[in-house]
Amino acid sequence: MSKLELRSVSKSFGALEIIPPLDLTIEHGEFCALVGPSGCGKSTLLRIIAGLEPASTGKVLVDGEDVTGAEPPERGVAMVFQSYALYPHMNVSANIGFGLKIARKAADEISSKVGEAAQKLHLDALLKRMPRELSGGQRQRVAIGRAITRDPRIFLLDEPLSNLDAALRGGMRVEIARLRQNLDATMIYVTHDQVEAMTLADRIVVMNKGRIEQIGAPMDLYHHPANRFVAGFIGSPSMNFFTADIAGYTTTDFLLRLSDGTQIVADHGAAPLSGERVTLGIRPEHIEFGDGLAEDNRVSGTVQVVERLGCDTLLHVDLSGSPMVMRQPRDLPDIRAGERITCRFPTAACHVFAS
């Protein structure tokens, strides 16, 4: 376990600035997920933390010690790569024990640590196999095993599940969560999959164009996104957005007018917004539909597509030219495409963002 601090760390390639100066502190034993779309700089930031990429400016501190110029082993980091990066000419046992061999540990120590890691990751029966003889999930477990045998202070995972199919990804996600409980290590996990970040992390760092958009606990980001980018990125299906004009204020609420003239009362949000034009956001699962809808905040639209997922139903609705997705936790056998429906935006579920 270790505390990691990034102080004014930035990265540029020539004149191109990939990561503007940023500060970030990750506490002892914390599981922190760096999330963001492809190309947002999250992997570059992880590589800077690992010592594989030099920072253009700033300092990297581990437990208060400046490791900015240090090689990866001196930082006490271990890393799991997106492509697993298993040595193809070594068997599972040699792959897991390679770091220890390079560190000139005694053969019996290597063998006991490899055995321990193999047991934790259910790889006991595969130790003599070559990487090419393993499935994607098994390879991933070997990559994790290679990282944990070195007892790293910080454990870095770069999109470790992105090469697995959906079913395997779910299983590995649970394994990583279990491993985390056993290891009690500081972990930094890069992913573009917000589901992985939400389910695994204590804290999520949402990145966009090299900048940190928001840092917070998963449910905090879900319920109180700082801006439209975070609101759109966290949650699946993504939050619905509508352009609206501010028609009035009260001390607690906004009165918003949508492009078709519908009036919606929304919660005030954190800070007052300048200008008249704003963006109204509401999550698909927060839209009310069915009998007994309250009279306020009602909207009407035409169903375009119905997706029946078993436990949930997704309705894709055209709301006077604006697309909207709503999720209902039940089967809606009577709803067909082309049907006109009315639903409601609860005031407390409406988010207002600057346009």
Partner 1 sequence: MRRRHHPTANRVIIHVVLLLVLALWMIPEVYMLSIGLRTPEQAFDATLFAWPLTFSNFITVIRDNPLPMFFLNSLIVTLSTVALVVAISSLFAFACAVLNLRGSLTLYATLLTTLMVPLASLVLPLAILLKTFGWVNTYAGLVFPYAALGVPFAVVVLKAFMEDSPKELFEAARVDGCNAWQTYWHVALPLVRPALVFVGIWQFISTWNEFFLALIILTRDEVKTLTIVPMQYSGLYMANPGALFAILTLIALPLILLYVVVQRAFVRGLLAGAVKG
Binding site for partner 1 (CB under 8 A): 50-52, 71-73, 77-79, 81-83, 85, 87-89, 98-99, 102-103, 146, 150
Closest to partner 1 by CB, 53 vs 267, is 53
What's the closest the beta carbon of residue 62 comes to partner 1, in angstroms? 15
What's the closest the beta carbon of residue 161 comes to partner 1, in angstroms? 16
Give ∠ CA 197-199-200 in degrees, rounded to 5.
Answer: 70
Closest to partner 1 by CB, 79 vs 127, is 79
What's the closest the beta carbon of residue 45 comes to partner 1, in angstroms? 15
Polymer length of the chain:
355
Q: Which amino acid is at 28?
A: H
Least Cα distance to 45 among 226, 230, 212, 231 occurs for: 212
Distances, alpha carbon 287 to alpha carbons 126, 164, 228, 317, 329, in Å? 49, 33, 18, 12, 11
What's the closest the beta carbon of residue 74 comes to partner 1, in angstroms? 9
What's the closest the beta carbon of residue 142 comes to partner 1, in angstroms? 12
What's the closest the beta carbon of residue 57 comes to partner 1, in angstroms? 22
At 181, list the tokens.
Answer: 């409980």
Closest to partner 1 by CB, 41 vs 99, is 99
Residue 66 neighbours by CB distance under 10 Å: 12
What's the gap between Cα 99 and its chain centre?
29
